[in-house]
Structure 1
Amino acid sequence: MNDDELMSGVRDAFEILDPVPPHVLAAARASIAWRTASATLAELEHDRPVRAAAGVRGAAGRTLTFTCPGSTVEIEIAEDGRHREITGRLVPPRAAVVEVRHRDLPPDGVTAHAEAAGLFCVPRVPEGLVSLVFRLEDGSSIVTSWIHL
């Protein structure tokens, strides 16, 4: 028995005794589809809770900062029941199409527009794992790392 035959036997045993659940396979395939070629990854640098001011209605939220070479993405997340509202800005300011990626959203996600000042707002984002894609006017893209809302 050579190595390939041994590995094939081990693979068959695992498929029978402990198969990968279908939802895990679906998530793995979807993650490949979510890949944005030639995008710059903006990694999470700060994640700070924000407390609601005394006497002001509304739940506490979070402020997150993502950075990549030459750009910063600052967002605030406010809770609204089972949904979240994401507001933020691109630094340096520039216009972009903002796409929210989430496993419970359609493949195109939810989109919004960042104005020339870099400001944007995306209402009614379901809680869960989320990544933002910024498609800039020059054809480049910035993608944030995944965060849990």
Structure 2
Amino acid sequence: MNDDELLAGVRDAFDAMDPVPDDVLAAARASIAWRAPDATLAELTRDRGGRAAAAGLRGAAGRVLTFTCPGGEVEIEVSEHGRDRELTGRLVPSAPALVQVRHRDLPPDGITARTEPAGLFCVPRVPAGLVSLVFRLDDGTSIVTSWISL
């Protein structure tokens, strides 16, 4: 028995005894479609979680996330609206861009919005769960945030 035959036997045993769930395989395939190899990665550097509202006030303070990349930042405030989230934020330094929200329950193009001239944006009705944002700047460059659970 050579190495290839041994590995094939081990793979068959795992497939029979502990198969990979279909949703895990679907997520793995989708992640390849979501790749943005030329994009600059903005990693989460600050997460200020929402706090309970003060007595007599409605609602709770939103969660504020800061993603940092070479030459800039993305600041996002997350507000809960039932099962959905509303993302408002800004791109620093400001730049015109198309904002795309990536989520496993959304179509491949996700939800999109445009930044205003000051770099501000708002994306309503984002499902709860793992989310990543892609900013396609008008100069042809892109920024992608790390994945974060909302």
TM-score, reference length from structure 2 = 0.95
* Equivalent runs, 1:70-85 vs 2, <5 Å: 70-85=71-86
Could you tell me which residue of structure 2 aligns to residue 32 of structure 1? Answer: 32
Query: Which stretches in structure 2 are left out of the alignment for 5+ residues?
Result: none
Deviation of 1:115 (Å): 1.1
Amino acid across the alignment from 1:49: G
Q: Which runs of 5+ in 1 are unaligned?
A: none
Deviations 1:45-85 (A, max 9, x none): 00002434554422332000000000100000000000000
1:43 corresponds to which residue? Answer: 43
Counterpart of 1:93 in 2: which secondary structure?
Answer: coil
Q: Which amino acid aligns with 1:65?
A: T
Tell me the alpha carbon deviations over residues 13-62 of structure 1, each in whole angstroms, 9 at most, x when there is no partner.
11111111111111110011111120000000000024345544223320
Describe the superposition over 1:66-120 as per-residue Cα deviations: whole angstroms up to 9, x where unpaired: 0000010000000000000000000001111000000001110000110111000
Number of paired residues? Answer: 149
- What's the RMSD between the two structures over aligned residues? 1.2
Instruction: Find the residue that maps to 1:138 and give its secondary structure.
Output: coil
1:43-122 correspondence to structure 2 within 5 Å? 43-51=43-51, 52=53, 55-122=56-123
| Cα distance in 1 for residues equivalent to 2:147 and 2:3 | 38
Q: Which runs of 4+ in 1 moved over 4 A?
A: none
TM-score for both structures, normalised by structure 1: 0.95
- Which amino acid in 2 is paired with 1:102? H
